[in-house]
Structure 1
Amino acid sequence: MIEFEVTHPEDGVGVVVPRGRLNMVSARRLKELLSELVAAGSTRIVVDMGETTFLDSSGLGALIAGLKTARQAGGDLRVARPTEAVRLVFQLTNMDKVLRPRDSVEGAFDV
């Protein structure tokens, strides 16, 4: 089971926190949340993966879809605080070159 927390800090960056396993079952909801954020005007999004215990190809696909949606709207999607399991998936798929994980949510949009 996974839970998603969505916040909108004062700087206008939408933050999504997936808590649990980001897999085929939960990836659809993440993709919907990211699309909803962009549609509501939050084109800069941080996905805080500090509490994501598992990531499969469906979850990775939802992140890439969110990245594409945000960029098409003139924004970007950044990943912050990936767990070791998430970081390993990024490295094995070379997605760490595309998503370039950040150390903190607050600094995700710093240069």
Structure 2
Amino acid sequence: MELALSTQTDGDRSVVAARGEIDLYSAPGLRERLRALVTDGVRHLTVDMNGVEFCDSTGLGVLVGTLKRLREVGGTLVIVCNQERILKIFRLTGLDQIFDIQDTASPAGS
């Protein structure tokens, strides 16, 4: 399955909703979208993964890299996910201790 991304931006806040699979094939597209947002001045980024069916280590690497870039500029990254199969990946890798993971997304302007 392909990865579909939609973005809602309000000032220095953006919500990126992902649907599909984040894997070796699709992760570069996600990386470029997130990188472009940070480059354009977004400092508070939410990645809504409630529509993600699969995420491999490449996808996790994209999220870790984005978190690092945002921290360097005083920003924040929130992961929104209520799917147990995706949350399990974060727990198994210990990334649930690094990311701010929430059940629901706030509007970009919140």
Determine if the TM-score, normalized by the shorter chain, exceeds 0.5.
yes
Q: Root-mean-square deviation (CA), in Å?
A: 1.9
Matches within 5 A, 1:1-111: 1-8=2-9, 10=10, 12-106=12-106
What stretches of structure 1 of length at least 5 have no aligned partner?
A: none
SS in 2 for 1:50: strand
Q: Contact 2:82–2:104 (CA<8 Å) still a contact in 1?
A: no
Give 3-state SS (helix, strand or coil) of 2:102's partner: coil
Identity level (%): 32
* Distance (whole Å) between structure 1 residues aligned to residue 23 and residue 94 of structure 2: 18
Q: Secondary structure at the match of 2:98?
A: helix
- CA apart distance, 1:100: 3.0
TM-fit CA distance, 1:14: 0.7
Residue 11 of structure 1: how far off its partner (Å): 6.4
Unmatched runs of 5 consecutive residues or more in structure 2: none
Give the drift of 1:99: 0.8
The number of residue pairs the alignment matches comes to 108
Q: Measure, in 2, the Cα distance between the counterparts of 1:45 and 1:5.
A: 13
Answer 1 or 2: higher relative contact order, Cα 8 Å, separation at least 6. Answer: 2
Alpha-carbon distance, 1:84 to partner: 1.6
